[in-house]
A and B are shown apart, each in its own frame.
Chain A
Amino acid sequence: MSDTTERNIFLMLLNDADKFGRALLVTLMIAGAAIVIGLIIGIVCASIRIAPKTNIVIRILDKIVGLYITIIRGTPTLLQLLIIANVILITIYNTNANIFVPMFAFGVNSGAYMAEIFRSGFNSVDRGQLEAGRSLGLSWFATTRKIIIPQAVKTVIPTIFNEIIILVKETSVVSYLSILMPWGVDGKVEQVYDLLGIADKRGQSTGEWMAYLITAALIYLVVVLLLTLVQKIIERRFSISDRR
């Protein structure tokens, strides 16, 4: 009796493989886009924060970036997502949440954290390196580009991957929203689910909630393990100058 039940669950999950596949794709698309947006925002904001405050424009930008980071870090991600989805999209643009909302929301969220990571990476490089470059007649920009950033990147990689991993998992928050893909089958708008969303939905409709949740958990785990592998490879490539 119990044997058949187990086989049923297994078959059931197998039948839903394509649904999980698409859900994984949605999760990865949201996370991927958010990482790219986050990295861009992070790099730009960190550059503003570390730049010498020689003119008023930089100083004003620095204040704005500071405010952005404070707000993003000071409020929950889900709240930011809901504000962007409900307040901005529905009230201002009168459209429903689509996949660009979580991409944008997580990107903006992650950008604040990445800005701080890049800034701390820059600050972790010994001041003497900058001074040595400047004393040779190199500009602040040239020294930063050739000497400081390559060294900062090395120290930043583990923390950035940490942030990326958190981000991938945090995208599960979108299961609170119904995501509408603008490019559904046959050009129609279609509702899709992320990994946690599909597990939740299928679990509820089949009654085998636990099995679906554990499957989703395992898929997240595999994704994170793959990311860790990528991190190790990159770290190894950057550690040449440490070798003795």
Chain B
Amino acid sequence: MIDVRNLYKNFGSVKVLKAVSVSIEKGEKVAIIGPSGSGKSTLLRCMNLLEEPTYGEVWINGRLITPVDPYLHPEIIMSSKTFRKMFKERMSAVKEGYMTEQELAAMLISEIKKHDFLRRFEGGEYRRMMRDLSRTYGENVDKVRRGIGMVFQHFNLFNNKTVIENLMLAPTLLGLESKEKAKEHAMHMLRRIGLEDKAYVYPSTLSGGQKQRIAIVRALCMNPEYMLFDEPTSALDPEMVGEVLQLMKELADDGMTMVIVTHEMGFAREVATRVLFMDDGRIAEDGTPEQVFGNPKNARLKEFLSKVLP
């Protein structure tokens, strides 16, 4: 499961993601749609930490890949100096019987969250709790990324490597497969997409569609559990879009868990099991393709669909 919790991402003063939470179960095919600048790509790139969130946590299969976000853990907030100081100051309210201790604590926690009151140094107890949590659940991000394939808008094939070297590089370098095994695997994958004759050429000789299909296959060579697609057809000539979408559809039919940022509404409708509509850094609508496309509730979504759907 990919679990995104209360994610914020700021680029300088620009707030790109605002309190985004979403969990994606295994087997789901999630399409993320929305106007440009709404934070779709940033959200996707935060899922494998190519972009580091400003606040919030990302959990993959129960492992935490971001630093611990204290604001998501009330017990950590309560261990902070700031909280304890505020608690002592407001104790009179409890003594005079206006509220219970629990109510006061809850109030202070929400106040601290709202105003970003936590500082860098919040005492030994706080530090210990942060450390324990990240020791228990934290995971090296490079390790987690092995299980999450990513496909980019601009393909990003390794220009200094031949096609087969592109496919073999990560599995062999990480010691997951022997050279022979990796080569066999890579050739098998190339045959699957009908590009085995391109095995020994450099990416610069390929068309966009071929590059993107090879990029997809390169990610598949790691046998990932999840695949993230960042506008995979946006940089392609129109006549090449079909072949890439076809391959993605096959992948979906094989049961791959997929998260796809796309402008291809037809594809989203056909392949996705769930559609997220993002607007202004938030998930504005979340539902099945039938709900989102057939019966949109959000005003911005209606406006967006009227523009992009024929």
Contact = CB atoms under 8 A, between A and B. Distances in A.
Interface string A172-200: 00000000000000000000000000000
Contact of B156 (A132, A137, A139, A151): A132
A131 B228 CA distance: 13
Contacts of A131: 50, 150, 152, 156
A126 B202 CA distance: 17
Contact of A241 (B148, B154, B159, B170): B159
Interface in A70-84: none
Nearest 10 CB-CB pairs, A to B? A137-B146, A132-B156, A135-B150, A136-B170, A128-B156, A137-B145, A241-B202, A150-B160, A151-B160, A147-B158
Interface of A: 126, 128-129, 131-139, 142, 146-147, 150-151, 154, 240-244
30 contacts: A128-B152, A129-B156, A131-B150, A132-B215, A133-B158, A134-B142, A135-B48, A135-B145, A136-B146, A136-B149, A136-B170, A136-B218, A136-B219, A136-B222, A137-B146, A137-B170, A137-B174, A137-B222, A138-B169, A146-B173, A151-B160, A241-B159, A241-B161, A241-B202, A241-B203, A241-B204, A242-B202, A242-B204, A243-B202, A244-B204
Interface string B153-190: 01011111100000001100110000000000000000
A139 B154 CA distance: 21
A138 B156 contact: no
Interface of B: 48, 50, 142-146, 148-150, 152, 154, 156-161, 169-170, 173-174, 202-205, 215, 218-219, 222
Contacts of B144: 137
A136 B145 contact: yes
A236 to B, nearest CB: 15
Given A126-B154, A129-B158, A136-B170, 13 more contacts: A128-B152, A128-B154, A132-B152, A132-B158, A137-B170, A138-B142, A138-B169, A138-B170, A138-B174, A146-B169, A151-B160, A240-B202, A242-B204
A129 B144 CA distance: 19
A135 B174 contact: no
Contacts of A139: 142
B82 to A, nearest CB: 25
B173 A135 contact: no
A243 B159 CA distance: 11
Contacts of A137: 142-146, 170, 174, 222
B284 to A, nearest CB: 27
A219 B215 CA distance: 52
A131 to B, nearest CB: 5
